[in-house]
Amino acid sequence: MFIQQLSVFVENRPGRLVDVLEVLAAEGLDLNGLSVADTTDFGILRLILSDPARGEKVLKEKGFIVKCTEVLAVDVHDSPGGLLFAIKAMSSVGISVEYMYAFGTKLSNHAMVILKTDDNVKAANTLKESNVDVLSAIEVQQRLKKV
């Protein structure tokens, strides 16, 4: 029901993002989705990887500060109001979204949204009851690779 997201703390200086991406590429880790949030001194690089456990291990070995978080991957129809339906379902039962980011899939008219809420279990159950697809890690991989 949940997928693993890595949050990597990266200094805001030239080349640090390159350093993270080089580690992942050298390990053959597929970058499925990402988001960057920044402050003046550092950024938080949120990653959805093909193998989050291995990604966490190799990044820590290279000296990066990494945190693993459970998030929801939700499949939404890529049309006006597609995301609105899912967000309204959660809002109607008092669930707050802490952050989210989206990326495309290889399925026609579908997008994937990564959500972190104040209650991921309740959010997942609410979404499922509303007929919104909450994806497992395997389903995320399948939707990204399907042609």
Q: What integer pLDDT is reported at residue 119 of this predicted model?
A: 97
25-29, 39-43, 118-122, 130-134, range with the lowest pLDDT:
39-43
Regarding predicted confidence, which is higher, 58 or 111?
58
Give the pair of three-digit tokens for residue 37.
């949030």
Domains of the chain, each with CATH number or no CATH: 3-70 (3.30.2130.10), 71-145 (3.30.2130.10)
Q: Name the strand (E) or helix (H) holding 28.
A: none
CA–CA dist 105, 108 (Å, integer): 8
Is residue 29 scored above 90 in pLDDT? yes
Q: Are 59 and 80 contacting, i.e. CB atoms less than 8 angstroms apart? A: no
Residue 120: CB atoms within 10 Å: 19
Q: Are 48 and 32 contacting, i.e. CB atoms less than 8 angstroms apart? A: yes
Mean pLDDT score, 64-81: 92
Q: Are 37 and 100 contacting, i.e. CB atoms less than 8 angstroms apart? A: no
**Band (14; pLDDT cuts 50, 70, 90):** confident
